Structure 1
């Protein structure tokens, strides 16, 4: 007779396996930061600023499509099987990027990679939320954002190591990109050993399979029966609930919620965070660092992102959403203003690279501890149940469109306007974001989702 696996350990194991999808999300968005300077060389892909922006931004454009289809595929195929197929797509797109002979094939494979990133960004939190117990659900889902920034940190470290060891090898960027094939294989192998979401199984009428999964992931038989009954009751109620349609947008309070969700998603991007996460090494070389020194310095950006994510998980339960987001936006905008002023008034100072590095690190401390946690959390709180999936999906879609817009235009602006004026653009957008929050964002802390829905209807 086989020994039963500890349910708590098994749930943690599933969480670790599933978040390889989030690790790939972080690595694939972060690796271009260090790979691009080598990729752009005349003897490699010979990139113009427009092509640099297209290669970097293609992943965001693909992710916008991926996040729209990811949820539907997860419902159709199952959460586990969807992640299994996405791991194959991650692997093939990674190999395609690393072997690309020219910029246009690279753009195509980066777009495909983006589809996998976007679909996983939807599927992973759904799978984690449904496989976890109610006591561990918050920490399990919160783990995703932490793993994403950890993946970016991993990319920055590997970029720096490979640049130091193989910096004289002109095609070192291919190795930087190819490393992502390893977690893709790990995700595939792990998904073969894990179980499907019990909620999805119940929705498909596969009750005995759902009960089997619950027995593996819940401590007592009473928990299994109670949760199975709860799932069946919830699905029965959802079947009788009117689904959200576009005609519902005629209702003023629903339009307001959608406007708020999209606005928050765009706010997260126009701070300029991805100019640093994607182009940090170029920013540092523009300020005076050598390429290798910039890649090493960029590790500091990754470290502070992880630490900021950890602090954000703590902070979000302590203060209100509005003051937390306002504080974060004020901090990021001041940092952008600092880079603007220092690079304008002291462009040739030997200390300029260190000032810029310090300000980018401080920027990410505010972004990852205040801005990013609140925007993700608010988008999950403001929509009523019957439009939660659609509303969140539309908000995340615009977040990826904002991601594409920033990542595509940044090298063009940097080449045309220079460091100081480029960051002045982010100062203006940061001020607009603060005004948006003050005018339109409600406080949601300490209120149930049902109370929020009722309050929005009244307003």
Structure 2
């Protein structure tokens, strides 16, 4: 999946790739939650193989795992070289990698207890919620860095310039904000 993201990042762009894959992960998680709620008995516990049903439907789970690997294992590494300033890029990238692996470790280790408490459908509903919230957050706060120089990206994070994504909703929001700021300015009398 990392190779696939590296191949298609030039055609799609980083921002659309991140948002699309995270939204697709949220949809797969929601689909798995609904499937588990409607088709899997509450006494099924995925850590005990004797509780599995006889059905061999693996497509939703395969899509979910592919998208999770695509989203969490490949895409963040594309942005790390652009996010941090040049002087601290090495240490910051290493710290971010360590934090990422810590979060992945905690997610893996808490899965057992979450499933024991909330059933399989609840676990995937929690994952879907995190993915939907993450998609919304990144939609509004992830700048478009495609075709931008490292100097432009660094000046954005310093607060000196604005890099907006070229999306319909964000552009409509920017126009509304500029109209509100113009209306709030005092009128000059000649």
TM-score, with length taken from structure 2: 0.71
Q: State how 1:175-186 maps to structure 2 within 5 Å.
A: none
How big is the shift at 1:417? Answer: 1.9
Task: Tell me the residue number matched to 1:447.
Answer: 148
Q: What SS does the aligned partner of 1:318 have?
A: helix
Task: Tell me the residue number matched to 2:165.
Answer: none
Q: State how 1:91-240 maps to structure 2 within 5 Å.
A: none
Task: Tell me the residue number matched to 1:417.
Answer: 118
Task: Tell me the residue number matched to 2:34.
Answer: 341
How big is the shift at 1:388? Answer: 0.5
How big is the shift at 1:390? Answer: 2.2
**Which residue of 3, 6, 13 corresponds with 1:320?**
13
Q: Does 1:390 align with 2:91?
A: yes
Structure 1: segments with no counterpart, 5+ residues: 1-307
Distance 1:351 1:324 in 2: 36
Task: Tell me the residue number matched to 2:63.
Answer: 362
How big is the shift at 1:371? Answer: 5.0
- Whether contact under 8 Å (2:18, 2:71) holds in the other structure is yes
- Structure number with higher helix proportion: 1
Q: Which has the larger radius of gyration?
A: 1
Q: What SS does the aligned partner of 1:328 have?
A: helix
Superimposed CA distance per residue, residues 317-354 of structure 1 (whole angstroms, 9 cap, x where no aligned partner): 21221111111011111111111101111125967541
- Whether contact under 8 Å (2:2, 2:75) holds in the other structure is no
Q: State how 1:61-72 maps to structure 2 within 5 Å.
A: none
- Whether contact under 8 Å (1:342, 1:352) holds in the other structure is no
Q: State how 1:423-434 maps to structure 2 within 5 Å.
A: 423-434=124-135
The structure showing larger relative contact order (alpha-carbon pairs under 8 Å, at least 6 residues apart) is: 2
Superimposed CA distance per residue, residues 279-330 of structure 1 (whole angstroms, 9 cap, x where no aligned partner): xxxxxxxxxxxxxxxxxxxxxxxxxxxxx33321211121221111111011
- Closer/same/farther in 2, CA of residues 433 and 353 from structure 1, 3 Å limit: farther
Q: Does 1:331 align with 2:21?
A: no
TM-score, with length taken from structure 1: 0.31
Distance 1:409 1:350 in 2: 24
Distance 2:14 2:79 in 1: 8
Structure 2: segments with no counterpart, 5+ residues: 42-51, 162-190
- Whether contact under 8 Å (2:19, 2:138) holds in the other structure is yes
Distance 1:312 1:370 in 2: 9
